């Protein structure tokens, strides 16, 4: 069983942490994973930096720009992750925009993901219809799950379609929002979470965007199986460096 | 079987186009996709669009026969005078169309991206006309370079927001506009300024600009007794003025199409915007097309002396015209373009935008026959470029 599916089967309060590969320093990638492993989080999302990350806010864009300046690229990332499965058993997802993956070659990319032990992908600008038509087979061949996003604007009909083709979790975007712009959930968001829950989907739901502290994390797991934290984590390592990661995780979990 | 060079029902031009968008944009793009053709073919829409183009923009723009150029280059040279449009370029044809569409979609807030500021001004203009709130994203670097256009937008009541991320130019302004739309999906319409972005934008913008080519057909019939020239020539940054001129001729293979790109300092100097030569297939701003990028797929910053041509991609229609060899692509250096800016001023009394000057420089690069009828899109006037002309020629 894919590591992601195993965690989804076993846990109810999943904490997934996103960070940008090659940030703050090019060689921090593996060290961050080690620390996240020690902090006992449930999933890791590695961001493959892109020059033009449309769906991300200023924090992640800034970390991507810095990572690219540091010399990060797809080839380098796979090199860094070569022995990662000797270090951690936590499910790892790569989140990347489509163009760098396209240039690497989608098949090549999937093959290398499998080789280093990646469990799934989030490619925000690869639309569902193109995925089904052209890439589903390749992903499946290399045992990679593909996670789709839904938003408050996504119609029930489309959510059903996404549920149908999902084989991991559905990434529920918490608001009309690029990453990292809100601090607590409001009435509208709760209504939306409830609407989605009432659809009784077969796929697990994880909430992302706007989860920044213990408060929002707890709130998120009331409406889903877990939450993804990105911008708040990047801000933390920007301020405190990568050696205090366990403090951040403890605070979220407390 | 004859293949069309126009968009297919899935939003593709050959291998290019489509909608590579994050889910956060899906509902808006899907709404546009399902409604833009229906709305823009309704009688009241057509009536209002045509009236505004006539009364407000000043259409039809003349198709001007240039005696002196024709004599020098020994062929029949016509200029489609888009430089005479209100606000100084063809850009307003599209913004008029999109504002009417936005109103019919019930949108109350408009966002746009701009590089040199021409599209920003054209958007601010139609928003002022309709009394709709307008926010224009512009790279921080461009804001400094294009002060007069920033002032024009402000006078027109628009808010100009600096894009401070990445390279702080057009592509980053586009990113910021997309982010704004993601954060404001309900009340906001995004007026993209060129034939780029996810489907249906390239087709929608091309249709609003197609008035250029459709007028040429009528005007040429009157002047020459036939609708079709031998060549249509236009500069290509994103490609909207070119798409507008080419539109009715795309599938008429007897009409030769020439796209003129900015070579900048030269193709091999690393300071160029000739996307067809330097670009590779990839995805930018929601569209699969040719774009300038690094080996590992990071989008690179193009260069041209003309701010309107330094976009790292080209529209998917043009990418397909290039790959299928339907169009000739010719690139022109800064130097040649600047010389032609001066030449057109001195020979015809028309000071062109530097973008537009690139197109005319083709006359020195390609040999035409005596009987050839060539239509150039004189896409914009040079007022906005005076500073650049002044510095370049020490005027």
Contacts of B187 in chain A (CB under 8 A): none
Are B131 and B187 within one domain? yes
Report the relative pairing of strands B133-139 and A169-173 from DSSP bridges. unpaired
- For position B205, what pLDDT does the model report? 98
In a domain, B347, yes or no: yes
The parent domain of residue B303 ranges over 58-89+210-393
Domain boundary among B176, B204, B232: B204
Taking only the tens place, the pLDDT of each residue in A132-172 is: 999 999 999 999 999 999 999 999 999 999 999 999 999 99
**Residues B24, A176: C-beta atoms closer than 8 Å:** yes
* pTM for the structure as a whole: 0.96
Q: Are A234 and A60 in contact (CB under 8 A)?
A: yes
* CATH value at residue B18: 3.40.50.1100
Q: Is the peptide bond before B200 cis (omega within 30 degrees of 0)?
A: yes
Integer Cα distance of B163 and B174 in angstroms: 9
* CATH value at residue A126: 3.20.20.70
Query: What does the buried/exposed string (b/e) look like for B55-77 if buried means 16 or more CB atoms within 10 Å of the residue's CB?
Result: eebebbbebbebeebbeebebbb
Are B253 and B358 within one domain? yes
- For position B169, what pLDDT does the model report? 86
Contacts of B182 in chain A (CB under 8 A): 54-55, 176-178
Q: Which helix (H) or strand (E) holds A15?
A: strand A14-20
In a domain, B314, yes or no: yes
In a domain, B191, yes or no: yes
- For position A177, what pLDDT does the model report? 57
Are B66 and B121 within one domain? no
- For position A176, what pLDDT does the model report? 58
**Residues B297, A155: C-beta atoms closer than 8 Å:** no
| pLDDT bucket at A182, cuts 50 / 70 / 90 | low
Integer Cα distance of B364 and B129 in angstroms: 42
Are B38 and B102 within one domain? yes
Active site residue A56: yes
Integer Cα distance of A144 and A123 in angstroms: 12
CB-based contacts of A133: which residues, under 8 Å, 6+ apart?
none
What ipTM is given for this predicted complex?
0.94
Judge whether residue A112 has pLDDT over 70. Answer: yes
Are B300 and B268 within one domain? yes
**Residues A52, B20: C-beta atoms closer than 8 Å:** no
Are B224 and B371 within one domain? yes
Of the partner residues A54, A127, A176, the one whose CB lies closest to the CB of residue B185: A176
- For position A178, what pLDDT does the model report? 56
| pLDDT bucket at A200, cuts 50 / 70 / 90 | very high
Domain boundary among B153, B171, B204: B204
- For position B166, what pLDDT does the model report? 78
Residue to mutate among A178, A188, A196, with most B CBs inside 10 A, is A178
Nearest chain B residue to A60 by CA distance is B165
Domain boundary among B204, B238, B260: B204
Taking residue A222's Cβ as centre, other Cβ atoms within 10 Å add up to 12
Angle formed by the axes of helices A58-69 and A231-240, nearest 10°: 60
**Residues B182, A124: C-beta atoms closer than 8 Å:** no
CB-based contacts of B387: which residues, under 8 Å, 6+ apart?
none
Asked if A167 reaches chain B (Cβ–Cβ under 8 Å), the answer is no
- Total structural domains in chain B? 2
Of the partner residues B182, B183, B298, the one whose CB lies closest to the CB of residue A50: B298
**Residues B171, A52: C-beta atoms closer than 8 Å:** yes
Are B118 and B246 within one domain? no
| Better pLDDT: A185 or A75 | A75
Contacts of A97 in chain B (CB under 8 A): 283
How many degrees, rounded to 5, is the angle at CA B22 between CA B16 and CA B26? 90
Query: Quick one: CA torsion of A130, A134, A137, A139, rounded to 10 degrees?
Result: -60
Burial class (CB in 10 A: 0-12, 13-18, 19+), A70: middle
- Mean pLDDT for A216-231 is 95
Burial class (CB in 10 A: 0-12, 13-18, 19+), B345: middle
Size of interface A-B (CB pairs under 8 A): 113
Integer Cα distance of B272 and A60 in angstroms: 29
CB-based contacts of B9: which residues, under 8 Å, 6+ apart?
none
Nearest chain A residue to B198 by CA distance is A125
Are B171 and B275 within one domain? no
Residue to mutate among B11, B21, B26, B290, with most A CBs inside 10 A, is B26
Q: Is the peptide bond before B22 cis (omega within 30 degrees of 0)?
A: no
- For position B165, what pLDDT does the model report? 83
Integer Cα distance of A85 and A124 in angstroms: 26
Active site residue A125: no
Q: What is the DSSP letter of A85?
A: G
| pLDDT bucket at A181, cuts 50 / 70 / 90 | low
Are B191 and B250 within one domain? no
In a domain, B4, yes or no: no
Taking residue A71's Cβ as centre, other Cβ atoms within 10 Å add up to 9
Q: Which helix (H) or strand (E) holds A93?
A: strand A92-96
- Total structural domains in chain A? 1
Give CA A115 to chain center in angstroms.
20
In a domain, B296, yes or no: yes
State which residues of chain B have pLDDT below 70: 1-2
Give CA B74 to chain center in angstroms.
29
Closest-CA distance, B182 to chain A, in angstroms, reads 6
Closest-CA distance, B175 to chain A, in angstroms, reads 6
Q: Are A7 and A169 in contact (CB under 8 A)?
A: no
Instruction: Say which of A28, A56, A163, A219 is annotated catalytic.
Output: A56
Q: Are A251 and A216 in contact (CB under 8 A)?
A: no
Q: Are A149 and A124 in contact (CB under 8 A)?
A: yes
Are B350 and B284 within one domain? yes
Asked if B282 reaches chain A (Cβ–Cβ under 8 Å), the answer is yes
Closest-CA distance, B383 to chain A, in angstroms, reads 32
Taking only the tens place, the pLDDT of each residue in B375-393 is: 999 999 999 999 999 999 9
In a domain, B355, yes or no: yes
Taking residue A251's Cβ as centre, other Cβ atoms within 10 Å add up to 12
- 3-state SS of chain B is CCCCCCCCCCCEECCEECCCCCHHHHHHHHHHHHHHHHHHCCHHHHHHHHHHHHHHHCCCCCEEECHHHHHHHCCEEEEECHHHCHHHECHHHHHHHHHHHHHHCCCCEEEEEECCCHHHHHHHHHHHHHCCEEEEEEEHHHHHHCHHHHHHHHHCCCEEEEECCCCCCHHHHHHHHHHHHHHCCCCEEEECCCCCCCCCHHHHHHHHHCHHHHHHHHHHHHHHCCCCCCEEEEECCCCHHHHHHHHHHCCCCCCEEEEEEEEECEHHHCECCCHHHHCEEEEECCEEEEECECCCCCECCCCCCCHHHCCCECCHHHHHHHHCCCEEEEEEEHHHHHHHHHHHHHHHCCCECHHHHHHHHHHHCCCCCCCCEEEEECCEEHHHHHHHHHHHHCC
Are B200 and B167 within one domain? yes
Are B185 and B216 within one domain? no
Q: Are B77 and B66 in contact (CB under 8 A)?
A: yes
The parent domain of residue A45 ranges over 3-253
CB-based contacts of A169: which residues, under 8 Å, 6+ apart?
A4, A8, A147, A203, A204, A205, A206, A225
**Residues B22, A125: C-beta atoms closer than 8 Å:** yes
Contacts of B299 in chain A (CB under 8 A): 51-52, 99
């Amino acid at each position: 069983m894919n590591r992601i599916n195993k965690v989804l089967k076993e846990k109810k309060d999943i904490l997934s942490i996103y960070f940008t590969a090659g940030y703050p320093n090019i060689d921090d990638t593996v060290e961050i994973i080690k620390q996240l492993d020690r902090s006992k989080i449930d999933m890791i999302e590695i961001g493959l930096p892109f020059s033009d990350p449309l769906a991300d806010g200023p924090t992640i864009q800034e970390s991507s720009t810095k990572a690219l300046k540091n010399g990060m690229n797809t080839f380098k990332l796979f090199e860094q992750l070569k022995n990662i499965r000797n270090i951690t058993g936590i499910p790892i997802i790569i989140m990347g925009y489509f163009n760098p993956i396209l240039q690497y070659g989608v098949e090549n990319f999937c093959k290398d993901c499998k080789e280093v032990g990646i469990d799934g992908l989030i490619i925000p600008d690869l639309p569902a219809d193109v995925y089904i038509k052209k890439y589903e087979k390749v992903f499946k061949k290399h045992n990679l799950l593909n996670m789709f996003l839904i938003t408050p604007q996504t119609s029930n009909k489309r959510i059903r379609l996404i549920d149908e083709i999902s084989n991991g979790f559905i990434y529920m975007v918490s608001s009309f929002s690029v990453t990292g712009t809100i601090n607590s959930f409001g009435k509208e968001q709760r209504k939306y979470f409830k609407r989605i829950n009432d659809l009784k989907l077969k796929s697990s739901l994880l909430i992302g965007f706007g989860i920044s502290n213990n408060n929002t994390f707890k709130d998120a797991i009331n409406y889903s199986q877990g939450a993804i934290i990105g911008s708040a984590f990047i801000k933390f390592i920007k301020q405190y460096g990568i050696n205090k990661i366990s403090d951040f995780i403890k605070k979220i979990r407390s | 079987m004859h293949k069309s060079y126009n968009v297919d029902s899935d939003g593709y031009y050959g291998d290019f186009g489509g909608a590579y968008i994050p889910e956060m944009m899906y509902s808006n793009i899907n709404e546009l996709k399902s409604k833009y053709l229906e709305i823009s073919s309704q009688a009241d829409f057509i009536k209002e669009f045509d009236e505004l183009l006539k009364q407000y923009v000043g259409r039809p723009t003349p198709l001007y026969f240039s005696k002196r150029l024709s004599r020098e280059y020994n062929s029949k040279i016509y200029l489609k005078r888009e430089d005479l449009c209100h606000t100084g370029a063809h850009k307003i044809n599209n913004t008029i169309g999109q504002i009417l569409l936005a109103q019919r979609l019930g949108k109350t807030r408009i966002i746009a991206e701009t590089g040199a500021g021409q599209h920003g001004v054209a958007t601010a203009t139609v928003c002022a006309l309709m009394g709709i709130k307008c926010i224009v994203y512009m790279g921080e670097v461009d804001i400094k370079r294009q002060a007069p256009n920033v002032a024009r937008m402000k006078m027109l009541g628009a808010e100009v927001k600096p894009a401070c991320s990445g390279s702080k130019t057009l592509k980053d302004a586009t990113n910021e506009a997309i982010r704004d739309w993601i954060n404001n999906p309900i009340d906001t319409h995004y007026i993209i300024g060129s034939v780029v972005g996810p489907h249906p934008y390239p087709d929608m913008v091309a249709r609003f600009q197609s008035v250029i080519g459709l007028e040429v057909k009528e005007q040429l019939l009157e002047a020459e007794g036939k609708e079709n020239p031998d060549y249509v020539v236009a500069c290509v940054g994103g490609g909207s003025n070119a798409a507008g001129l080419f539109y009715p001729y795309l599938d008429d293979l007897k009409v030769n199409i020439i796209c003129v790109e900015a070579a900048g300092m030269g193709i091999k100097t690393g300071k160029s915007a000739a996307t067809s030569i330097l670009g590779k297939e990839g995805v930018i701003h929601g569209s699969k097309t040719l774009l300038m990028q690094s080996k590992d797929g990071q989008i690179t910053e193009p260069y041209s002396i003309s701010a309107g041509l330094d976009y790292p991609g080209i529209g998917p229609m043009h990418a397909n015209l290039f790959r299928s060899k339907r169009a000739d692509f010719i690139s022109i250096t800064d130097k040649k373009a600047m010389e032609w800016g001066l030449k057109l001023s001195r020979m015809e009394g028309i000071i062109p935008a530097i973008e537009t000057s690139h197109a005319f420089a083709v006359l020195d690069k390609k040999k035409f026959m005596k009987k050839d009828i060539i239509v150039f899109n004189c896409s914009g006037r040079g007022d906005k470029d005076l500073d650049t002309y002044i510095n370049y020629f020490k005027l």
